[in-house]
Structure 1
């Protein structure tokens, strides 16, 4: 069994250290990427992307590699460090933004917050402020988020489907006027020919994405990638089998959602419930 090396070894940057260990362990084992894929049951190209720094894979992959190489939980520990590193989160998100701009179609599920592509300026500001942004950084983030709305306008705008958990529409802003504007914006957006909006009612029961917000992007090269997100982190997923599992969960959940027509009526009912006049 190879001796366990300290996590604070050669590279001090979590993701780079993870890559170094992947390359070193495979070299010591004397196997090719294809042989590694055959031994573990994953597409060998995934391991090539992990060693090239394009993705860190999933914790299941890291754990399987630990078992294969006999390194206990070394790779899983390094994976957790790499996944939690704020610098790497920003790099992954920048890559996601690039792919989003190139996407031929997008489909999305919202657990508790409206997708950035459909947020008004006030809604974006409130959500980002709750997340800790303030001052000039808050202004910069709001501008960046609201600027993305242009992706869904114009003659060449890609098709976009969003499924909103009912919880999204049951969580208003403190300012009733701002909330009304957001719902009006959502209702208007739902009328666009390239946008399909559905609502998933509370009574739909449990499903495979109950705690996971996800965006799927169909890219010009035929691939589909996914970006999953919660309150603490986001992850760009490019490995085919992982994306397919998420897609199956999404398709099953979509069957539980209200139709687009019913969903538009649902949004209008929510709008009617918002108090009129100035907020108190």
Structure 2
């Protein structure tokens, strides 16, 4: 009978159990992080964060590692358990994260804060800190948010359209360097073929989504679900009648937004007007 592998105390924590298995499989192949990254075409530092439990990454990462190691469904199941760990995310958000990873296309409206899928480290940290998150929990939440950006990277990244209310670009970070970095990242993201950014001018007036961020996800089975969020509450919307109502409001608002080319020019203008980082 093969020797039973010791179950450590780390294995009882879903996030660390996932990290432990990712590392064990790599070491079992005798690979360094850089060698594995070269074979998969990824950044080795991202894989390192996975193995240290600093980030969960996206479900696509777990699926790709399952395929590479020949462990169908194992790492994805562990990833889902880690996402479902109540110490990681609020209940109403866990289901949404799983669906986000399965989406074949996504479109969003952001009313006051830039979309999580497009946030930089510094900007995400400030946004989450204003919500009262501190210390180690803040670091975990920032890493989790940044790991979602991997969903849009690569040739297989799903189409993503974000409409940004002008207020999101008129409300800078407190740190000038962080804000410039964030604006530069938006310009870079807008140049990717699967990402479309549009700006909704303040002069457009009132509309059906005032005060509400919303993300729409089109799933493999053809269904569309939505996730709405205010400063104090998030809700996954799956009833088709409610999703249709939100979609109509979104479509009406999109007709008022600047074109992608005009929007990129607007973001570039914001970058020109942004104060320089005094430390540089």
TM-score range, shorter chain: 0.5 to 0.7
For residue 212 of structure 1, what is the aligned residue in structure 2? 212
Task: Structure 2: give runs of 5+ residues left out of the alignment.
Answer: 1-85
C-alpha distance in 2, partners of 1:255/1:134? 40
For residue 233 of structure 1, what is the aligned residue in structure 2? 233
For residue 247 of structure 1, what is the aligned residue in structure 2? 247
> CA RMSD, aligned part only?
1.5
Q: Is the 8 A contact 1:176 1:279 kept in 2?
A: no
Give the secondary-structure state (helix, strand or coil) at the position aligned to 2:275: coil
State TM-score, norm by structure 2: 0.68
C-alpha distance in 2, partners of 1:180/1:150? 22
1:132-175, Cα deviation, whole Å (9 max, x unpaired): 10000000000000011000101110000000000000000111
Give the secondary-structure state (helix, strand or coil) at the position aligned to 1:232: coil
C-alpha distance in 2, partners of 1:261/1:219? 28
Give the secondary-structure state (helix, strand or coil) at the position aligned to 2:151: helix
Q: Is the 8 A contact 1:224 1:238 kept in 2?
A: yes
Larger radius of gyration: 1
C-alpha distance in 1, partners of 2:277/2:139? 27
Residue 91 of structure 1: CA displacement? 1.9
For residue 4 of structure 2, what is the aligned residue in structure 1? none
For residue 134 of structure 2, what is the aligned residue in structure 1? 134
1:279–1:169 CA distance, 2 compared to 1 (3 A): farther
Give the secondary-structure state (helix, strand or coil) at the position aligned to 1:278: coil
Task: Structure 1: give runs of 5+ residues left out of the alignment.
Answer: 1-85
For residue 105 of structure 2, what is the aligned residue in structure 1? 105
1:185 aligns with 2:179: no
C-alpha distance in 2, partners of 1:279/1:97? 37
For residue 256 of structure 2, what is the aligned residue in structure 1? 256
Give the secondary-structure state (helix, strand or coil) at the position aligned to 1:163: strand
Give the secondary-structure state (helix, strand or coil) at the position aligned to 2:90: helix
Q: Which structure 1 residue ranges, 4+ long, deviate > 2 Å from structure 2?
A: none
Q: Is the 8 A contact 1:175 1:279 kept in 2?
A: no
Q: Is the 8 A contact 1:169 1:270 kept in 2?
A: yes
1:267 aligns with 2:272: no
